[in-house]
Amino acid sequence: MRFRDRREAGERLALLLRPLRGHPAVVLGLSAGGLVVGGEIADVLGAPLDILLTRRIEFAGPPVTTLGAVGEGGLLVSDHDAIKRFDVTAAELTRLAGGARSELARQVAVYRHTVAPAPITGRTIVLADDGAATGTTAHTAIRVLRARQAGRIVLAVPVAPARVLDRLAREVDQVVCLRSPAWVYAVRNSYRKFGAVAETEALELLHREPRLPTEVPR
């Protein structure tokens, strides 16, 4: 199954998340792509929408490989298996992590200049992304949420490998996923349209007026 775009994937996830309507939930998009997915969910739930910023630590390879991720607040999560497999030195990892932190700091300055983080202490959090190939970024986000004392965490992703989904399910209270094959080489392959989400589009989503709960097509 391939999704038309991120919005369709969000609509399909929203169908499964309708039982959360009426709960004091907050929908967090995991970076810009997840924000588009999360926007559709927030509309159906009538919930506030915010972004949770993270940045992957990538090794140029070949192939390009995710070695970990950094999240708001300075948290770093490493993929030790990938680091060992590609024989990445501690010095190289530090250099790559520094670059990821610099880009994350730039994103935080852009988004948080006009959008304060949504209060999440004790709240039900729907963490939405457009997919999870390795789960490293989602793992970082979950740790950020736990550190910020989130209540119940629901991970909502259109596609993720079964082994990644099983691991992430042990870290959250609920997982909602539409497709979990044995292997996902690249999330983009699950979409017909998967362009980069511009910061202007993401900011428009964050600045829009809250909407009343809506229905989605069955």
Of the candidate ranges 96-100, 143-147, 162-166, the one whose mean pLDDT is the lowest: 143-147
In this prediction, residue 61 carries a pLDDT of 75
Torsion of CA 71, 75, 80, 82, to 10 degrees: 20
Q: What is the mean pLDDT of residues 169-193?
A: 94
Of 100 and 23, the structure prediction assigns the larger pLDDT to 100
Are the CB atoms for 180 and 161 separated by under 8 Å? yes
Rounded Cα gap, residues 193 and 48, in angstroms: 26
Of 212 and 175, the structure prediction assigns the larger pLDDT to 175
Q: What is the mean pLDDT of residues 189-197?
A: 96
Give the type of residue at 130.
Answer: D
In this prediction, residue 217 carries a pLDDT of 54
* Residue % of the chain over a pLDDT of 90: 67
Question: pTM score > 0.85 for this model?
Answer: yes
The class level of CATH for 6-54+118-207 reads alpha beta
In this prediction, residue 71 carries a pLDDT of 86
Of the candidate ranges 20-29, 71-80, 105-114, 152-161, the one whose mean pLDDT is the lowest: 71-80
Are the CB atoms for 174 and 81 separated by under 8 Å? no
The pLDDT tens digits of the residues spanning 52-92 come to 998 889 988 777 888 988 888 888 888 888 899 999 999 99
Question: Using CA of residue 153, residue 214, residue 30, residue 155, what is the dihedral sign?
Answer: positive
pLDDT of residue 212 exceeding 70, the answer is no
Of the candidate ranges 8-12, 55-59, 122-126, the one whose mean pLDDT is the lowest: 55-59
In this prediction, residue 77 carries a pLDDT of 86
In this prediction, residue 175 carries a pLDDT of 97
Give the type of residue at 187.
Answer: V
Q: How far is CA 178 from CA 3, 20, 34, 136, in A?
A: 10, 17, 15, 19
Of 137 and 177, the structure prediction assigns the larger pLDDT to 177
Q: What is the mean pLDDT of residues 2-30?
A: 95
Q: What b/e sequence results for 30-58 when a residue is b if at least 16 CB atoms lie within 10 Å of its CB, and e otherwise?
A: bbbbbbbbbbbbbbbbebbbbbbbbbbbe
Q: What is the mean pLDDT of residues 100-127?
A: 92
Q: How confident is the model at residue 208 (pLDDT cuts 50, 70, 90)?
A: confident
In this prediction, residue 23 carries a pLDDT of 85
User: If you count DSSP H runs as helices and E runs as strands, how many of each does the chain have, helices first?
Assistant: 7, 8
Domain ranges of the chain: 6-54+118-207, 56-111
Paired sense of beta strands 65-71 and 76-78, if any:
antiparallel
In this prediction, residue 35 carries a pLDDT of 97
Q: What is the mean pLDDT of residues 123-140?
A: 94
36 φ/ψ angles, rounded to the nearest 5 degrees: -65, -45
